[in-house]
Amino acid sequence: MRPALASLPAAALLVALPLGGCFALNDTGDFEVDEGCDLQLELRDFAPHVRDRFEVRLVQPRANPDALAELQALALFEPLDSPFLSLRMPNAVAPLEDATRPRSAIDFYADFDSEPGFSFPGDHTWILPDACAEGPEEFVHNVDFEPVRDIQPRDAGVRVVLCQRQMEAGNAPIEVRVTGNFPPDVNRAVGFFRRATARDGAASITIPGIVDLGFRHEIEVYVDANENEAHDAGEPTWSFTYRPEDMRECDFDSPLPEDMLLCVTSAGLAEQPMRIQDALGSLETCIDDAGNVAVTLGDLGNRRMTDSVLPPASWFSTQP
């Protein structure tokens, strides 16, 4: 278990101590950042929650316990769909650069009461206070519930509009991955979403509060056609890039060309096709009316589809 610097006695802060690849202070008081890590969470025996919506938050608590914790990454499962979960989001935990700040923590909960948003004690909730030290360890289901913290989201969420190809995917799952590029040139996973059946639920997917609009982000979506919990070449895949210099509002007043794609709502899959009134923004990233970075999964001519394999092939597993 890695000790948190904030818990060490003052005298210990004046000694050069290697902390297992984390950080140390030399005798001049200079602070050396730790290395960060992947966000890892190993859940076991979560059978009571296989049909529940499940949310995993990577948060940076503040020195003031009454202040909102900063949201650093978010993973959503609709539903959890298995009593076992191994989640790994690459480079999600940034190095700790301020000795006065607590370490990044993992707050997670099952939407047990099926009410919108988080509620306590209706939802079942847990906290791991040190993401790099505790996240990789197996966490067995228990009833020692601890309410997750209120959070300060980043600038924007990601909204993915599904079209006919995805909504007709039958029982195949759909998955969204969002990666941000941060100084000095590090790609960090900031968002993950997996829906067990593409056509169940709303005709759009939103991962809230994960985008810092000042940095480039990659948005990757695929339909897990063979349901093996990994992306394989040949599966329907879409890739988008948000760039701060290209940021613009979605133009919902532009008329659509006759050959533009048709999108549908999940409730009106066969009866009520709905045109996306955004000829320019439908195949590129744009900022929607709610402030989200919005993308549309195009069907026509497979535009914005790619054959590349998303690295790594899988960010999670439900195998025990």
Mean pLDDT within 78-106:
93
Mapped onto helix, strand or coil, the DSSP state of residue 114 is coil
Mean pLDDT within 241-254:
80
pLDDT band at 295 (very low <50, low <70, confident <90, very high): confident
What is the value of pTM for the model shown? 0.81
Domain ranges of the chain: 38-315
- Computed over every residue of the chain, the mean pLDDT equals 78
Q: What is the pLDDT of residue 33?
A: 62
pLDDT 10s digits, 88-100: 999 999 998 888 8
pLDDT 10s digits, 121-173: 778 999 999 999 988 889 999 999 999 999 999 999 999 887 665 656 567 89
Q: Which residue has the higher pLDDT, 279 or 190?
A: 190
Transcribe 136-204 into DSSP letters.
Answer: TSEEE--S---PPPPEE--SEEEEEE--HHHHTSTT--EEEEEEEEETTTEEEEEEEEEESSTTSS-SE
Contact 158, 179 (CB under 8 A): no
Q: What is the pLDDT of residue 141?
A: 96
